[in-house]
Structure 1
Amino acid sequence: MDTQNYKILLFILTGLLLLSVLSGCGPKQLTEEQVKGEVLDYFSSLYSAEFTITQPEEQVVGAGPIPSFRSKPTYWSLTAASSQFPDETFTVVRTTSGAWHDNYYSLLLNDEAAAMVNGIIQNKMPVDYYIYIAWGLDDWPRETGEETTFQEWIEAGGMIQKIIVYLREYEPDDCISEILAEEIHREIPTVQFVVFMGISEEGFISLINDIQSFKISNTSILKRLSYNWYEEETE
């Protein structure tokens, strides 16, 4: 074998060896059924309800060194439902390290949170409204759990990303909205944004009929006023 052919053969063998090493050293991949089994065990360790997984999805984190899906780290994002709230869903995530995070509290505490906001704004708005709580995906605060009340959750530092008050066929007043937003923030100091949004009659009806999949269009928005405390609390 001449020198040129030997170099070519050596290059090919080196490349094959590198590919086998890279593929063999990648993160352990779980099947969908394995992930479902893990998450059900995770739920049973925290909650008393029974759960079903409605939408498991494996997602890639960043770019891998070679164009192979299995050589890249992945995490799982799953949609789940419980026997306690059969018509509603929440999110649970399995990180690349195998840790689990869920926001089941978004169902357990939502009615209490909405009632607290309603107690502040009722009789102060001349039209029908709907209160939406955007919870995010933070962990339960320390020493809280399934039996925790919303007030206890706030006092333990539980975060709320956003509270939106949808107003039926009405443009929110700047002065009244600002006063109410400040009152909401005093009662719920961990909320990051409070929004008052006037929407059309058609948009409001769509919201009430299907809150789970509701997506508001720009044409439905009459006026939006937003107040936030995120920047001042993270400086």
Structure 2
Amino acid sequence: MIKALVFDFDGLILDTELSALQSWQEVYRAHKSELPLEKWALCIGSGFEAFDPYTYLEALLGRAILRDEIAAQISKRNIEMIETQAALPGIEDAIKAAKRLGLKIAVASSSPRSWVVGHLTRLGLHQEFDAMKFGDEVARKKPHPEIYLGALELLGIRADEAIALEDSPNGVLAAQRAGIFCVAIPNIVTGQLFLDHANLRLKSLADLPLEELIALVENKQAQKSQESLA
């Protein structure tokens, strides 16, 4: 029986993925270089441990860059592009439906707590969540399952009692490695990446009422359980 929803944040609740990619591509072009999506994809849903755009740019240029200056530029551009954005389609309705159904909800994000909580507060959603686990609170970020395992522990539920909502390949892997059924809901950036390993894929969380999604997941879980006994 499903008892909780576990949300990723970047690219799932708020479309920060496009602004992040565009901000970095602007920096690369200013240095007469290009940042391929396949390289950037390595750190989506994870972090710069998986792919460091500073180091990659330095390798392309053959010299050191002013990292602090670039970091400030990236931060400024990101804020400019996302500070007025609303939550992505279906997010607020799913949260309301989860509350109505008596489900717990959590955030499991590789981003720092300050980044996620700041945006959730602006969106008026921070107080809706029962638990939160962030990348600056664990030793290993996604695709390692530590963030999801931490969220499950905070919620006090088993992996088979949750549905994870993700937008990236790294996020899907992290949820599945924690034993959680994962629904991929890609954005304009991650929609170009390989997500066939997700248990289910939707174009938008608004595409399917939460009650129907839960029924679909529970049916798939029951079928898998029967197959394992056969």
TM bracket, shorter-chain basis:
under 0.3
Q: Report the TM-score when normalising by structure 2.
A: 0.23
Larger radius of gyration: 1
Higher relative contact order (CA 8 A, sep 6+): 2
Higher helix share: 2
More strand by share: 1
For normalisation by structure 1, the TM-score amounts to 0.22
